[in-house]
Amino acid sequence: MANEMEFRTCPITGKKVYATTQNLMWINAVTAVVFILIGGIMALLVALTRWPAVHLLSPEWFYKALTAHGLNMLIFWIIFFEVAGLYFGSSVVLNSRLAAPKVAWLAYILMLVGSILVDVMVFTDNATVMFSSYVPLQAHPLYYLGIILFAVGALTACGIFFGTLAIAKADKTYEGSLPLFTFGLSAAAIIAVFTLACGAIIYIPTFLWSLGVIKNLDPAMYRLLFWGLGHSSQQINVTAMVSIWYLLGALTVGAKPVNEKICRTAFVLYILFINLASEHHLLTDPTLSPAHKVFNTSYFLYLAVLASMIHALAIPMAVEVAQRKKGYTKGLFEWLTKAPWGEPGFPAMIFSLLIFGFIGGITGVVYGTEQLSIKSHNTWAMTGHFHATVVGGTTLAFMGLTYYVIPLIFRREIIGKKWASAQPYVYAAGMILLILGMAGAGTLGSPRRHWDVTFADSIIPFSFDPTVLLFTTIAALGGILAAVGGAMYVGVSVLSVFLGRKLAPNEAKLVY
Amino acid sequence: MPITSPETYWWKPADKQEKIWITVAIIWCLILFTMMPLWHFVGGQNPSVEPMKIRPDDFEKVASAFIEKYKVGEEAGIPVVKPPDGADVYLKGQMWNWVPILELKKGVNYKFHISSVDLMHGFGLQPLNMNFQIVPGHDNILNLTPSTSGTFHIICNEFCGVGHHTMVGKIVVKD
């Protein structure tokens, strides 16, 4: 293990990069990429099975692959990457040594053991329970234990982040307020603590139930607490993603937040309101009263939506101001047309913002209405909604950032720069087709988590409007294209990290 | 830069454009917020407003009694039931059927009790595309008035095991 106080200075940002932080970021980011590879292979298999023309897997394998896809993408890929981001946002951005690096390694090991346990259980047919693992559908006890270990590890990583903030403050490694990026990540980490607490409250009794210690668990209570984890963890992603948008804006065009007060207030709105809004999962459940639903999923939800609306202005505004300062002032849009579209970070940020905001945000607000939830609950349109937010939004932003982390932090030259530049376009195009296909089919009633929408094996014959099959085909083609984009990402990042030319200490490469 | 501390005191008043945008966004949020409670009073479709618990065994008993009382036939091994006008209707989700098949009358209000006797199920009425979560131990009570005649199907849209995709039920509405 490297000396805790050993650091180098980044020639581009002037930040101190401690060797311990760099190693921890490296291991967490590389692990994240391994999980996006597993999740991506599952994604392709699922897409090829949902497409009636191919219908690749058997039902047993389909439900198994779908469970693995959800867990590997939504939990393992995203959270390992976020942990790397938390160490970057605290230690590197604040020029501080990382708090308790040995504990950070312990957190990593807990998360790794947890995720391997979960994957082994899923692939050995012991946990075909979907991402949500709704009680009373039971998995092997080791599955729940895996989730618990992973959550404890992630919570520990949040602790390391807060500890590093305290050390930086005590050592006066920065002056004045926290930088906006770190402020945003702090909001994400605060939301993460609530989220993981919900996870502990529900997964510990569920683990005991699977062992037979507890006899009965109310499935409705499970749903309430599960979504305190399941949806709130997406709010961590949203908050981390918005922070990364600000960062990518700075890295690609030198964008600077126009009004720090407004940006920071928006992050505070996320902390206050976004988690209770997660109850919109229960809008068509037989358990909550209308007043309760209105308060949490309408009143609270829209205050969180307001925060997103504020970022939706602040980020493009910061980009426009930065571009106009560079002299791109002709007409209304020269700042946009002369933007660095050939650099992967810029299109990744713009597509992430558009897919998240326009598709994910609008569908989310619409489906989150009590009455319209009746039209979308459990349909494939819902799957479309969260692919827009978590994949088109969060994952694409994380991908864009990777192309900067590799040269700046891991000190390797990117192999296949042209592939890197094209990747956000391919991935975004695939995701948009996938999402529109899902939304179209779902609006006509096509269900999520379903092996056969032609209902060939059912006793009572039923078939959908044939338009459903058309939309399903569009989604499948989009899924295949997105899988190509995902493979480009994994290929470029793995090759660069392991085989890329090592950069000299003062060599800075940000040109694509 | 978002990765450096703000150079100066940053609690500054918002710019005019920012104020306009935020005002528009707040008004829009208020409109959305008003719609949800408003629809409870003026709208025709709302989810269940009567939270009720029922043990799966008890639901099984009540549903069986209902089926026995009003059974008019059988289709593909599933009982066909024709409840009298305005009756309480029991619909049971189980792996992997919706029981019974119902024959209803157009324009008559029925009080539906939907629950599960095993896992979580998803009630998806097609082609209308109306969906409700069916939770074992809880009774999803819905007041339904069929407004068109014809054959409707109920699919399952919550994963309930390896036969999930074969789970289809039926409601026939007659004039």
B101 and B64 in one domain?
Answer: yes
Helices A232-253, A260-273: inter-axial angle, 10-degree rounding: 160
Residue positions counted in chain A? 512
Residue B174's DSSP bridge partners are B105
How far is A407 from A431, CA to CA, in rounded Å?
27
Distance CA A368, CA B126 (A): 21
CB proximity list for A303: less than 8 A, separation 6 or greater: A269, A272, A273, B29
Question: What residue ranges in A126-202 does DSSP mark as E strands?
Answer: none
Cross-chain CB nearest to B159 (options A63, A246, A261): A63
On chain A, the residues whose CB falls within 8 A of the CB of B54 are none
* Cα A191–chain centre separation: 14
What strand order describes the sheet that includes B130-134? B71-75, B78-81, B101-105, B168-174, B150-156, B121-126, B130-134
Q: What percent of chain B has pLDDT over 90?
A: 75
CB B123 within 8 A of CB B158: no
CB–CB of A166/A91 below 8 Å?
no
Dist. CA A264–CA B87, nearest whole Å: 56
Residues in chain B: 175
Residues 46-105 of B with CB under 8 A from A: 46-52, 75-78, 97, 101
Say how many C-beta atoms besides its own lie within 10 A of residue B107's C-beta. Answer: 13
Task: Confirm whether B147 is domain-assigned.
Answer: yes
Handedness of CA A391, A114, A137, B161 (dihedral sign): positive
pLDDT of residue A277: 79
- How far is Cα A347 from Cα A459, in angstroms, rounded to an integer? 49
Q: B118 to chain A: which residues are within 8 Å by CB?
A: 136
CA A101 to chain centre: 25
Question: Before B127, cis peptide (omega within 30)?
Answer: yes
Mind telling me how many Å the CA of B147 is from chain A's nearest CA? 17
Q: Which residues of B touch A10 (CB under 8 A)?
A: none
Instruction: Examine the domain organization and report whether B32 and B107 are in the same domain.
Output: no
Q: Do B78 and B132 fall into the same domain?
A: yes
- Which two three-digit tokens encode residue A249? 């804006």
Quote the pLDDT of residue A435. Answer: 97
Chain-centre distance for alpha carbon A74: 6
Query: CA-based angle A352:A358:A364, to the nearest 5?
Result: 105
Residues of chain B with pLDDT under 50: none
d(CA A15, CA B118): 57
CB neighbours of residue B162 within 10 Å: 17
Task: Report the distance separating Cα B144 and Cα B89, nearest Å.
Answer: 10
Owning domain of residue B134: 56-174
Pair (B130, B157) in one structural domain: yes
**Distance from C-alpha of A206 to C-alpha of A459, rounded to nearest angstrom:** 34
- Helix then strand count (H, E) for chain A reads 19, 2
Interface mutation vs chain B, best among A181, A283, A450, most B CBs within 10 Å: A450
Would the CB atoms of B36 and A377 count as touching at under 8 Å?
no
Separation CA A61–CA B60 (nearest Å)? 32
Of A164, A127, A131, A123, whose CA–CA distance to A143 is shortest? Answer: A127
pLDDT at A468: 96
**Burial (Cβ within 10 Å: 0-12, 13-18, ≥19) of residue B64:** middle
Q: Say whether both B30 and B81 belong to one domain.
A: no
Nearest Cβ partner for A179 among B5, B132, B135: B5
Would you give per-residue pLDDT tens digits along chain A (512 residues)? 557 788 988 888 888 999 999 999 999 999 999 999 999 999 999 999 999 999 999 999 999 999 999 999 999 999 999 999 999 999 999 999 999 999 999 999 999 999 999 999 999 999 999 999 999 999 999 999 999 999 999 999 999 999 999 999 999 999 889 999 999 999 999 999 989 888 888 999 999 999 999 998 999 999 999 999 999 889 999 999 999 999 999 999 999 998 999 999 999 999 998 887 788 999 999 988 888 888 888 878 888 889 999 999 999 999 999 999 999 999 999 999 999 999 999 999 999 999 999 999 999 999 988 889 999 999 999 999 999 999 999 999 999 999 999 999 999 999 999 999 999 999 999 999 999 999 999 999 999 999 999 999 999 999 999 999 999 999 999 999 999 999 999 999 999 999 999 988 777 666 55
Q: Answer yes or no: is B5 within a domain.
A: no
Mutating which of A128, A371, A408 best tests the B interface, going by the most B Cβ atoms within 10 A?
A: A371
Selection from A98, A103, A24, A2 nearest residue A410 by Cα: A24
Nearest CA in chain B to A460: B168
B152 plus B84 within the same structural domain: yes
Residue B42 at interface with chain A, using a CB cutoff of 8 Å:
no
State the nearest Cα–Cα gap between B62 and chain A, in angstroms: 18
Q: Is B135 on the interface with A (CB under 8 A)?
A: yes
Q: How far apart are CA A55 and CA A135, in angstroms?
A: 29
Q: Is B172 on the interface with A (CB under 8 A)?
A: no
Which positions in chain B touch A448 (Cβ < 8 Å)?
A: 157
Specify whether B64 is located in the same domain as B38: no
Nearest partner of A282 among A366, A206, A373, A200, judged by Cα? A373
ipTM > 0.90? Answer: yes
pLDDT of residue A244: 96
DSSP label of A428: H
Helix (H) / strand (E) element for B168: namely strand B168-174
Other Cβ atoms less than 10 A from the Cβ of B143: the count is 12
Spatial separation of the C-alpha atoms in residues A482 and A146, rounded to whole Å: 29
Which amino acid, A250?
A
| Chain A CA closest to residue B96 | A458
Please give the single-letter amino acid code of residue A440. Answer: G
Nearest to B47 among A59, A182, A283 (CB): A283
B120: in domain: yes
Q: Per-residue DSSP letters for A446-485?
A: PBSS-S-TT-TT-SS-----THHHHHHHHHHHHHHHHHHH
Report the SS3 class of residue A191: helix
B32 and B91 within one domain: no
DSSP H or E stretch at residue B91: strand B88-94
Q: Which residues pair with B105 in a beta bridge?
A: B174
Identify the closest residue of chain A to B48 by CA–CA distance. A286
Same domain, yes or no: B70 and B154: yes
Residue B48 lies in a domain: no
Q: What is the pLDDT of residue A168?
A: 96
Closest Cβ–Cβ partner in A298, A379, A459 for B76: A459
Nearest-neighbour CA in chain A from B65: distance (Å): 23
- Whether B87 and B133 map to the same domain: the answer is yes
In-domain check, residue B1: no
Q: Give residue A136's region: left, alpha or beta (phi > 0; psi -120 to 50).
A: alpha
- Residue B50 lies inside a defined structural domain of this protein: no
The DSSP code sequence of A86-118 is HHIIIIITTT-PPS-HHHHHHHHHHHHHHHHHH
Q: Is residue B89 part of a domain?
A: yes
Query: Domain check: are B77 and B162 in the same one?
Result: yes
Contact residues, chain A, for B39 at CB < 8 Å: 369-371
For A220, the 3-state DSSP assignment is helix
What letter represents residue A22's amino acid?
A: Q
Which residues make beta-bridge pairs with B81? B71, B102
Paired residues of A8 in beta bridges: A17
A contacts of B47 (beta carbons < 8 Å):
283-285, 370-371, 373-374
Question: Quick one: three-class SS letters along A246-258?
Answer: HHHHHHHHCCCCC
Domain of residue B128, CATH code = 2.60.40.420
Number of domains in chain B: 2
Cβ contact B2–A134 (<8 Å): no
Residue B97 lies in a domain: yes
Same domain, yes or no, for B35 and B64?
Answer: no
Whether A447 and B160 lie within 8 Å, measured CB to CB: no
User: Within a 10 A sphere around the Cβ of A346, how many other Cβ atoms?
Assistant: 22
Give the C-alpha distances (Å, rounded to integers) separating A30 from A238, A406, B28, B50, B141: 22, 11, 42, 50, 50
Specify the pLDDT at position A512. 53
